Chain A
Amino acid sequence: MGMTIVEKILARNASLDRVIPGQIVEARVDVVMLHDIGTPGIQRPFRELGTGKIADHVRCVIVPDHYVPAPTVQAAENLKLTREWAQSMGVEYYYEPGRGGISHQIMIEQGHCLPGQIIVAPDSHATTYGACGALGTGLGVTDTAIALGTGQLWFQVPETVKVELTGELSPYVSAKDIALYLLREFGEDELIYKAIEIAGPATERLTFDDRACIANMALEMGVKTCLFIPDAETLSRLRQYRQNVPDPVRPDANAKYAHVAFIDVSLIPPMVAAPHSPSNGKQISEVVGTRIHQAFLGSCTNGRIEDLRVAARIIKGRSVHSGARMIVTPASQKTYKQAIAEGLIQIFLDAGALVTNPGCGVCIGGHLGLIAKDEVCISSSNRNFIGRMGSRQGQIYLASPAVVAASALAGEIADPRSIEEN
């Protein structure tokens, strides 16, 4: 019997010839990512663990992103602690706010994720690293401290579900719509604990940014990890930063899957996840006309350059609706600078949108744009749980950058296909 991608990665990092689902293995961890919540969080378990240093083979990457720049004194203390701890541990890859951005974007953008690696972070959306063919998975601070200090961790080998994407996406339908469609198909708990592999001919047409969006959003289905086989574009991006990029891990032809789902992406319309679950997906026609107060374009799901381009193309020469506000958060400083160079930021500013520094603030209801009671936000982010972006009486709809942009102009949820292109 052959192995799936996740089985191969776990077997190799556990120095075993093969593994099977359900087995518990101790495996080598290659990279640990920390941010300004995770770094303070690991202090107690890391101290109690007693190794006193980061395991030699572990690449530690620290990217403060949740509360940057500090909105409160407590957040400032956490940022200070994070900076000082990075220095005291001799962490080479530390990204001061202003030089980094959203941690998951920095991880994939700056070449910290390689095919076949096991990468953990005290942040659920570590699944994003699957865009690079790495087993990325979120952990709590205790597990993270153990991975940092010992360079290894126990993992249970998950079953793998394969998703075969076929067909061509319609205009204004994007990777985010695929993700919301998969969430509606699988729900929040059908794939708990499982790994998913995304494959099939339509995958070949997905860009690196598309893959990152899907791998990021897949977490909301409860998966342990979501893996793509890196394509030429992905590998060439990684080679900009790393000299030796390993060959992608591919599944065996006779690998055993718990389930294979076939999805024809040409049938997917623009999707919107209604409150209060990412799996509460609707076709856009079901929610068109819903009044909105805030439109948010950003996050580790959809704050990348391609997302900003799509939105800017819709917004160019128009204005954000007088009854609404639009907030744009580029995913990283690199994205931000590129968006300036391409004239995208000017388009957003001319339309009356707010542009913030890269970070998690709006998406997590931290700062830079919370919503009030009875306000409705359409957001390109990944979660619409109760209270996620501010008031518990607020409502959050999740959608693609195109839908967010069209809705910002209309002041209500709008179908981007109904807006004439400039």
Chain B
Amino acid sequence: MIRGRVWKYGKNVDTDAIYPARYLVYFEPAEVAKHAMEDIDPDFLSKAKPGDILVAETNFGTGSAREQAAMTLKFAGIGAVLADSFNRCFYRNAINNALPVLSMRGISQQIDEGDDVEIDLEHGRIIDHTSGKEFQAAPMPELLQKILAANGAIAYYRAHPAKIAEPVKSAGAACVGESCRE
């Protein structure tokens, strides 16, 4: 279950803000985890607890392809990121590292800093226990849910060595709505 306290951020939170370029040389999880949100919120690691949830406006993760931006949040124990929209590469990196991400237009205006929020990824349901409101996002495409459930793309691929996914040949079957940002 994903449930935690909300930390809110604005629009266009870029990868330099999430994980500054000066630490690009590091890939070890313990080191990568030390620099989460360092340039946008220097107190982040001292205040956020494992399982907490980030809620951001549009275009979260814009900027570079650096996977450390997703890894640092995962390794720092963040439970999920909700945003009005995501940068596509950050979105892929998050899924590949089993960091749950869900997008829904307008969600950042509905949830307040400090709220206690629960997320049901399979059904795209978001429950704000503080305000009592519930929101319905488009469920994540099945393939991406499988990658998350396998704890990341490498584990998923190893369990499915022939192919990462069966090509979906029927028109439009794979993706509906805002949650679908490869």
List the interface of chain A (C-beta within 8 A of B).
Answer: 14-16, 20, 22-26, 37, 40-41, 43-45, 48-50, 66-67, 72, 74-75, 78, 121-124, 126, 138-143, 145-146, 150, 152-156, 158, 188-189, 192-193, 222, 224, 277, 364-366, 383, 385-388, 392
Contacts and interface: CB of A to CB of B under 8 A. Distances in A.
B165 interface: yes
B62 A156 contact: no
Given A141-B67, A143-B92, A189-B11, A23 B171 contact: yes
A338 B12 CA distance: 39
Nearest to B16: A385
B25 A78 contact: yes
B1 interface: no
Given A15-B167, A24-B141, 11 more contacts: A14-B167, A23-B173, A37-B66, A45-B154, A75-B25, A138-B65, A154-B143, A158-B182, A189-B11, A385-B63, A387-B17
B34 to A, nearest CB: 15
Contacts of B67: 41, 122, 140-142
Nearest to B67: A140
A392 B182 contact: no
Contacts of B88: 192-193, 222, 224
B172 A156 contact: no
Interface residues of B, number: 56
Interface in B75-100: 85-89, 92-93, 96-97
A140 B93 contact: yes
A72 B89 CA distance: 28
A52 B89 CA distance: 25
A124 B85 CA distance: 18
A140 B181 contact: no
Interface in B140-172: 141, 143, 152-155, 157-158, 163-169, 171-172
B164 A152 contact: yes
B52 interface: no
Nearest to B25: A74
A188 B62 contact: yes
A284 B163 CA distance: 51
B165 A386 contact: no
A222 B60 CA distance: 11
Contacts of B89: 124, 138-140
A122 B64 CA distance: 9
A41 B27 contact: yes
B30 interface: no
B21 A365 contact: yes
B45 interface: no
B25 A222 contact: no
